[in-house]
Amino acid sequence: MDVSHAEPNHEIPRSIYSWTLQLEVGAPFRHRISPRFEAGAGVYRTSGMPAIALDFDPVPSQEGTTTPIFRITQFGFNVGLGLSLQVANHVLLDVGGRQHRTLHRELNGDVAGVLSMTTVGAGLTYALQ
């Protein structure tokens, strides 16, 4: 299971959360360096300020917020490649990249834009056995 948060560097501020089930195929600890294939599917939630709000001065609402917020929840999937480098007896350094894409509709059936992004990550894995 993978839970991720991303804030793309874009003129329209937004946050992207993903909750996905992942399948990773590889052979870590068999060789010092081993490749890995990843695939996953799940829910992607995008929230941020609509593009139209950038054309106007913010006006405080009754709740005290100054900008409207949109939230889009969609089903999506990702595929990726990575490498695992054994750095100690039970420790791996993992690096990889994933391509994410969502469907054209929100979970409630409304039409929405497609989210397409590439992410790169690195981390450590410790094997208990």
C-alpha dihedral sign at 110, 73, 99, 20: negative
Per-residue confidence (pLDDT) for residue 51, from 0 to 100 = 58
Q: How far apart are CA 58 and CA 64, in angstroms?
A: 11
Per-residue confidence (pLDDT) for residue 52, from 0 to 100 = 55
Work out whether strand 91-106 and strand 33-48 pair parallel, antiparallel, or are unpaired: unpaired
Q: What is the pLDDT along the chain (129 residues), one digit of tens a residue?
A: 999 999 888 777 789 999 999 999 998 888 999 999 999 999 999 988 765 544 444 555 555 555 567 888 999 999 999 999 999 989 999 999 999 999 988 988 888 889 899 999 999 999 887
